[in-house]
Chain A
Amino acid sequence: MYTFSNKLKTFSIILMVLGLLGVGYGFMTSHKSFEEVETMLAGETSHGGGHGEAAESHESVAHDEHAAEASHDMDAHGASAEVHADEHAKHVEHVQHQIANRPWSALYVAAFFFMMIALGVLAFYAVQWAAQAGWSPVLFRVMEGITAYLLPGALIVLAIAVASGTSWLGGHYNLFVWMDPEVVAHDELIKGKSGFLNMTGFIIRGLIFIAGWSLYRYYSRKFSIAQDSADNNQNFKKTFRISAAFLVFYIYTESMMSWDWIMSVDPHWFSTLFGWYVFASMFVSGITVIAMFTIYLKSRGYLEFVNDSHLHDLAKFMFAISIFWTYLWFSQFMLIWYSNIPEEVTYFVTRFADYKLPFLGMVVMNFVFPLLVLMNSDYKRIPWFVVMAGIVILAGHYIDVFNMIMPATVGDRWFIGIPELSSICLFAGLFIFITFTALTKAPLLAKGNPFIKESEHFHY
């Protein structure tokens, strides 16, 4: 049995408290008045050109929420002072809204990132069962511990999404513009999609996804623990069946979840392989976290049955799925770049204009670094090497989620500062607290599993 070390528990609580304080600070400082934003913008442009220039450069960048109103800027230059003043007010309001969106987006990105780790681990776990893998049963309890975060984590993500789109919960359509009836009324494109993109549907779908994932998690865990003291393989067979069924359910719901929870921040944009792309991101982060938890628990002496061949296999998965992620990332990017259809390419134009460093930096962190570091077979067995690669991969996939959400909500007003870092701290603390608490609930060796002997003697 694992005992949650007091040091780690205190550490996770400190993370949560610091995170909460920072998130609170982020919300307190993000509500700027019209005048404040106006002075701020004047300060920014005083050494550049005048207002008109700044306004123009802002309008030329495609912000989805304003695309409906964007038609007005054609004659902005030659128009009268009245129109100019109107332009100016719109621009200031736009920036004001972006600044107000930032703490919401920071919270949402971090919440989604940690939820996605738990969901990726759950998918990996189901694959191991369905494939009847002989190497991984010694790691099942670690995976089950990590997936304990899924239910609270996914509910938090859904709650943030809904709260951001309902004025009575404090939000003001801060993440999803299609939640704003004002925007939908003036936007034919979003109106056409409102059969799918509406609040009721969003909540119901979200609850169905979460319920399905959590049910699988609950029953697989229950059967797995029941198998420890069983004298036949009944529980094993049941888990095998529900894992196969779950994988079917998962691949549908994961795809729809990615449209709902991520792609719909840009309701004018669509991509067919987006669901797979998000899947690859969550799968590789999940596997990385399994490897890091395993290394941590082994270093504390709780997993003496795990040897470096298990680590080698996990690192191979980290390596391979990193490349798979890159394949999907590039396929999505290259197809859109190549055909250059305006309605699709704005997505990457904004990212290239305003997010050059995170957008390209993430490819280095998620592809080049793991490719070179984890290629050598000997390095995959060295714990500190795997941990180092894992930290870079996780940071890279945080930035991946950041790149998916932020350009649509805060545009060029992004920065990785207090709101972002403290949101990460908050959810990292919660993640550590919940997962390690779950690890104390059952023995770390699933001893009833029929493959456990093979797994204990696994060597590669």
Chain B
Amino acid sequence: MEASKVIHAIYTDDDVLMAAVKRVRAEKHHIEEIYTPFPVHGLDKAMGLAPTRIAITSFMYGCVGLTVAIVMMNYIMIQDWPQNIGGKPSFSYIENMPAFVPIMFELTVFFAAHLMVITFYLRSRMWPFKKAENPDVRTTDDHFLMEIAIHGNEKELTTLLEETGAVEVNIIDKAH
């Protein structure tokens, strides 16, 4: 790994940041990361990030939950011990199905919601006691920070970023 240097451009306005992102992308520089204190609408599109697939995972988890509910209720109520409880028809799953629908629904939602959240945590590497990866504490309050890797074009990048309205441009040595 090369001992990499990165450049941190700090902005104080999300509109300026958006314009800067478009400019930097137009100049064909690769943006490593952007830190913002709140969601900036349209930033992912401007950065050209791929859309999330988390909704698709959620759909699949929901299908798993539905299957779990059906298999569980079918085994317990129909196969294992088909008792007559208040005259409910426990002869086949379909005959007694309306009584199982609330469980089927809730387990579908439960699996879809919880597994999707866990997927989100895993995928975005968030857990308790995790060391925060914040390059500048001000980015959690009112500053926006754009990080770009330097490949021997320090001067050019600095001028470009200053032109885009950055209030600070810092060159950081990233010790790996």
Contact B98 A337 (CB under 8 A): yes
Contacts of B99 in A (CB 8 A): 334, 338
Cβ contact of B98, chosen from A334, A375, A377, cutoff 8 A: A334
Interface flag for B39 (CB, 8 Å): no
Per-residue contact bits, chain B 93-132, to A (CB 8 Å; 1 contact, 0 not):
0000011010000000000000000000000000000000
- How far apart are the CA atoms of A439 and B87 in the complex, in Å? 57
Cβ contact of A334, chosen from B55, B59, B87, B101, cutoff 8 A: B101
A side interface size, CB within 8 A: 8
Across chains A and B, the number of contacting residue pairs, with CB separation under 8 Å, is 12
Contact B101 A340 (CB under 8 A): no
Contacts of B59 in A (CB 8 A): 375
- How far apart are the CA atoms of A425 and B59 in the complex, in Å? 40
Contacts of A338 in B (CB 8 A): 98-99
- How far apart are the CA atoms of A337 and B98 in the complex, in Å? 8
- How far apart are the CA atoms of A334 and B87 in the complex, in Å? 15
CB distance from A199 to the nearest CB of B (A): 38
CB distance from B24 to the nearest CB of A (A): 24
Closest A residue to B55 by beta carbon equals A377
- How far apart are the CA atoms of A333 and B87 in the complex, in Å? 17
Closest B residue to A378 by beta carbon equals B51
Contacts of B98 in A (CB 8 A): 330, 333-334, 337-338
CB distance from A324 to the nearest CB of B (A): 14
Contacts of B55 in A (CB 8 A): 377
Cβ contact of B87, chosen from A340, A375, A377, cutoff 8 A: A340
- How far apart are the CA atoms of A334 and B103 in the complex, in Å? 13
Contacts of A334 in B (CB 8 A): 98-99, 101
CB distance from B99 to the nearest CB of A (A): 7
CB distance from B117 to the nearest CB of A (A): 19
Contact B101 A330 (CB under 8 A): yes
CB distance from A226 to the nearest CB of B (A): 36
Per-residue contact bits, chain A 75-100, to B (CB 8 Å; 1 contact, 0 not):
00000000000000000000000000
Per-residue contact bits, chain B 123-155, to A (CB 8 Å; 1 contact, 0 not):
000000000000000000000000000000000
Contacts of B87 in A (CB 8 A): 340
- How far apart are the CA atoms of A183 and B120 in the complex, in Å? 65
Closest B residue to A377 by beta carbon equals B55
CB distance from B121 to the nearest CB of A (A): 23
Q: Which residues of A contact B (CB under 8 A)?
A: 330, 333-334, 337-338, 340, 375, 377
List the 5 closest A-B pairs by CB distance, nearest first. Answer: A334-B98, A337-B98, A338-B99, A330-B101, A334-B101
